[in-house]
Amino acid sequence: MSDLQFMELALTLAKETVGQTSPNPVVGAVLVKNNQVIGLGAHLKAGEPHAEVHAIRMAGEKAKGATLYVTLEPCHHFGRTPPCCDLIIQSGIQKVYVATQDPNALVSGKGIEKMKQAGIDVEVGLLEEEARKLNQVFFHFIQTGLPYVTLKAAVSLDGKTATYTGESQWITSRASRQDVHHFRHTHDAILVGVNTVIKDDPRLTVRVSDEVKPAVRVILDTSLRTPLGAKIIQDHEAPTWIVVGSEVTSEWIRHFTDLGIKIIQMNSKHIPIQDMLSHLGELGITSLFVEGGAEVLGSFLKERHFQRVITYIAPKLIGGSGAPTSFAGDGIANIDEALSLEIEEVCQIGPDIRIVSIPKWG
């Protein structure tokens, strides 16, 4: 196998852990000697050993003189585990291929430097683009302090999200709705507007397996109108956080906190998206999946704070000038003010189509 193929293997290992390592990145490592794999590993969960550690432990004494392929720069500082750089140096590894540097400006390049100083031959940049893409959430969070935001909409072929009477369940197929769970699973939090809670009473849980860490459910609710009887308040299946404006009284808030709900109160009367995102970032939310409704999606569009849009299109025609579309808000007067996106992927999910697109600034 070639260097490229060994790095591809390391990337595949990392890819399989997307959604389970937050707030840490996904990382894969492959250790090779005489063209034979002698160790491999992935970082499975925050607090557990890093990918390199698994690979080196597996190889034992054989690591001496071997070549390591690792998808992210090995750490050189003490976190919850000792630095991988030291272990790499101690184990006698001769050559290290690093796909991409650590995005954290404070430590970026330092691990590489340390290994070089110890006499290891280090090469950076093999499959770099793939490695950066795999960790795009982590890179975005480290560089901005804000969660990576994915907007989701499910529409009919004519762009409607409901009939003129407001009926919206279900426009897309069961297969698409199941697919949504995969995205919920790969985000730290799921967000909706209070009207969606009032109208649909959703659970917003991740139903992929019992093993997964539940995503936090976040509601934007300026005046704390969320019904106390809503499933999201009562079911305790995942943490629920409600973002409220400055005018909600502490007395009213207590009704919710008594039920174990976390209230994030803004300093302003309304909820500016950027401020809300920085609060979530400070609370350790590295990625956010925004599921609607139209008002909330309209606000994200207006403030232009998102990195990806996922649209499910069902082959149905609903019609009706009063039937809602996926993004509300004030809209724009001229076409040249429209936001341009680049389509990253189009695929069929059951009878529907899923389009993943990235805003041009993203």
Which listed option, ligand NDP, Zn ion, none, makes contact with residue 179 (CB within 5 to 8 Å by class)? Answer: none
Please report how close the Cβ of residue 234 comes to ligand NDP at its closest, in angstroms.
19
Residue 266, contacted partner among Zn ion, ligand NDP, none, CB below 5-8 A by kind: none
Cβ-Cβ contacts under 8 Å for 335 (sequence gap 6 or more): none
User: Considering only 25-33, 220-228, 344-352, 353-361, which stretch makes contact with ligand NDP by CB under 6 A?
Assistant: 220-228
**19/324 with CB nearer ligand NDP:** 324
- Of residues 8, 52, 73, 291, which has the active-site annotation? 52
Per CB under 6 A, does 271 bind ligand NDP?
yes
Tell me how far apart the alpha carbons of residues 84 and 82 are, in angstroms, rounded to a whole number: 6
Choose which of 40, 50, 149, 323 interacts with Zn ion (CB under 5 A). 50
> CA-CA distance, 163 to 318, in Å (whole number)?
6
**Residue holding tokens 């969606």?**
196
Query: How many amino acids of this chain bind ligand NDP (CB under 6 A)?
Result: 29
332 Cβ contact partners less than 8 Å away, ≥ 6 residues apart: 338
CB of 230 to ligand NDP, least distance (A): 13
Binding of residue 161 to ligand NDP (CB under 6 A):
yes
Let me know: does 264 contact 243? Beta carbons within 8 Å: yes
Tell me which of ligand NDP, Zn ion, none is bound by residue 207, counting a contact when its beta carbon lies within the kind-specific cut-off of 5 to 8 angstroms. none
Q: Which stretch binds ligand NDP (CB under 6 A): 42-50, 130-138, 186-194, 210-218?
A: 186-194
Q: Is 52 a catalytic residue?
A: yes
Q: CA-to-CA distance for 117 and 245, rounded, in angstroms? A: 53
Q: Does the protein bind ligand NDP through residue 29 (CB under 6 A)?
A: no
Binding piece for ligand NDP, criterion CB under 6 A, among 70-78, 110-118, 207-215, 294-302? 294-302
Q: Which is nearer to Zn ion, 30 or 75 (CB)?
A: 75
Residue 279 interface partner, choices Zn ion, ligand NDP, none, CB cut-off 5-8 Å depending on type:
none
Say how far apart CA 318 and CA 275 lie, in whole Å.
36
DSSP 286: -
Identify the H or E element spanning 183.
helix 174-185
Q: Which does 195 bind (CB under 5 to 8 A by kind): Zn ion, ligand NDP, none?
A: ligand NDP
Q: Does 238 bind ligand NDP (CB under 6 A)?
A: no
Which listed residue (299, 307, 311, 357) binds ligand NDP by CB under 6 A? 299
Which region among 1-9, 71-79, 253-261, 353-361 touches Zn ion (by CB under 5 A)?
71-79
Footprint on this chain of ligand NDP (rule: CB under 6 A)? 153-154, 161-162, 166, 168, 171, 192-196, 199-200, 220-223, 225, 271, 273, 291-296, 299, 328
Active site amino acids: 52
